[in-house]
Amino acid sequence: MRLIGSTLLAAAGLAAFLGFWEALPRLGLINPAFLPPPSTIPAAFLKELSLGVWPEAVASSLSHYVVGLSAGAGMGIGLGLLSGMFRPFEAATAWIVRLLRPIPGLAWVPFAIIWFGVQPSAAVFIIAIGVFWIVFFATQGAVRGVDRDLVEVAQAFGFRSPWARLTKILLPAATPGILVGVRTALGQAWMAVVAAEIFGVPGVGARMMQASSLLSTDIVVVYMLTMAALYGLFDSAFVALQGWLLRWRA
Amino acid sequence: MAEIVDTAPVIDIEGLSLAYERGGTRNVILSNLDLAVPRGEFLVIVGESGVGKSTLLRVLIGLAEPSGGSVRLSTRPGCRTPMGLVFQDSRLLGWRKVVDNVAFGLEGSGLSKAERRAKAAEMLAFVGLADLGGRWPHQLSGGQRQRVSLARALAVDPDVLLMDEPFSALDTFTREGLQDELQRVQAETGKTVIFVTHDIDEAVTLADRVIVLAGKPGRIAAELKIDAPRPRRRRDPALTEAARYLRSELSRRSAEL
Ligand SMILES: Nc1ncnc2c1ncn2[C@@H]1O[C@H](COP(=O)(O)OP(=O)(O)OP(=O)(O)O)[C@@H](O)[C@H]1O
Ligand SMILES: [Mg+2]
């Protein structure tokens, strides 16, 4: 009953929001070219679909997203584990980290274009950098936070190599913290996708820029909602995966 | 043909000392400690908090380095894990099912996963938890967790079972149940047990021999053999007498300091 009530309320809220949005351009309060009413969006979507532009843009963005996220998160987890496990590694990299960490992902765009050209690899590079630090720090912190007592259990049973420590204790014990970082990265990576593609690498972001230069704001909105939907999809899938991986927790 | 009987103590500690260095000051915990533990003995160590009981166990299992003296182990040749340790806080690995916690120490022993699981299931049945192998550790009670911890230590078939206040966090009823269980386990396996406790009644119920660690640095201040018949009855006058003696020794030692 409570659930139904809150679902109704949420639906009502959304309807009110859409109504308000519809009213603004319809009542002439805002130029419809600047803010398309939501009722025009489905038609714009169908047109993009029939032209085959939408599937193509989404497929190429998704491939940037998946490859960039995997590369950035993979590197972040790998180096985060090293840095969390080995003090000398952390000490040796401390100042490098301090130097590079504050540089925003977008500041790498010039180099991305110089090194890779306006190519998918440039987008992948920017996305990877965008998520790397989040995952790196989450992993390092999670490994550092693993209870020493659990590491002793492994030692007491004769597992003393760093590899055994990693696979038997540190990695499983740090998984909850690492996953929190990866989930944040999931959202961060979408931002990086748009940013990377705005510079011309084909994909959702590039298509949005094209549309906006033609003042086809309805198409811009189509892709904004597309991204919201894709992000929602990935996040839900990830939450399900996380729940399964962490099913051992109370 | 005469059987060769191994009469050497399974653990022979001579002149053991251990100190922690901190900020230039040397904090001597154990000094010049001698202790021989015959095979099959149930040895209980009592002593005030901070005297170094856990530290001694940590040295034996290789979690702490002694700063002097020697520890000789006459364990079976080729035994990969001569010592099994049960911690005070069960320290189960939360991400492993109960059965895989018990199988933990068997990994790297050359057994297949199925064999390890079978052995673990057998150990679980041995400690009376045959049905709980499929649970997660957080779904167990404190007493069940300690049984699992005991099964995990026994699964590697160690020569010596080290137990650091394993029952101290449990209620009296559960504790006494586990004490009986442990006596049965020891009788059936013949394992050497070194058991640390704060609880004098527990000490006399379980021990073949009790040693009192006292002083700073810690040394063996008193020693008592208990040969009351097993299984022990808690109201046995011999045990009550032993407990009285240990209590007076403990209070005398702490008054001397
Ligand atoms: N890693 C360490 N560094 C420095 N000092 C330590 C360390 N571990 C233990 N100590 C000190 O060594 C002493 C002995 O500790 P230990 O844990 O062996 O005591 P215990 O007899 O087991 O006490 P309890 O009955 O409270 O468990 C304590 O004074 C403790 O503060
Ligand atoms: Mg202790």
Domain ranges across chain B: 93-157
Share of chain A above pLDDT 90, in %: 81
Closest ligand to C-alpha of residue B52 is 1
**If we measure between CA atoms, which residue out of B105, B101, B141 comes closest to residue B121?**
B101
Reported as type and span, the H/E element at residue A112 is helix A109-116
DSSP-derived 3-state class of residue A74? helix
Residue at token pair 């340790």: B85
**CA–CA separation, B198 and B207 (whole Å):** 13
Q: What architecture is domain A55-202?
A: Orthogonal Bundle (1.10)
**CA–CA separation, A68 and A121 (whole Å):** 9
Per the CB < 8 Å rule, is A156 touching B61?
yes
DSSP state of B14: E
- Quote the ipTM score: 0.86
| Atom 29 (ligand 1) nearest CA | B50
Q: Is the pTM of this model over 0.95?
A: no
Runs of H (alpha helix) within chain B: 53-61, 98-102, 113-126, 142-155, 172-189, 200-206, 237-256
| Atom 4 (ligand 1) nearest CA | B20
Kindly tell me if the per-residue pLDDT of A1 is higher than 80.
Answer: no
Count CB neighbours of B66 within 10 A.
Answer: 19
3-state secondary structure B194-246: EEECCCHHHHHHHCCEEEEEECCCEEEEEEEECCCCCCCCCCCHHHHHHHHHH
Share of chain A above pLDDT 70, in %: 100
Domain ranges across chain A: 55-202
- pLDDT score for B107: 93
Question: In B, residues 172-231, which contact A (CB 8 Å cutoff)?
Answer: none
B250: Cβ–Cβ under 8 A, 6 or more apart, which residues?
B46, B47, B48, B200, B212, B214
- pLDDT score for B82: 85
Q: What is the mean pLDDT of each run of 10 residues along chain B (257 residues)?
A: 63 91 86 91 92 92 90 78 89 96 92 94 90 94 92 92 91 89 90 93 94 87 89 88 89 73
Whether a cis peptide bond, with omega within 30° of 0, leads into B38 is no
Tokens coding B208: 């073949």
Give residue ranges with CB within 6 A of ligand 1.
B 20, 22, 27, 29, 47, 49-55
Per the CB < 8 Å rule, is B93 touching A149?
no
Tokens coding A75: 């590197």
CB distance B194 to B84 below 8 Å: no
**CA–CA separation, B167 and B175 (whole Å):** 6
Kindly tell me if the per-residue pLDDT of A107 is higher than 80.
Answer: yes
Show the CA angle centred on residue B2, arms to residues B36 and B72, nearest 5°.
20
Mean pLDDT of A31-49: 92
The identity of residue B79, as a single letter, is C
- pLDDT score for B6: 61
**CA–CA separation, A56 and A50 (whole Å):** 11
B91: nearest CB among A150, A172, A250:
A150
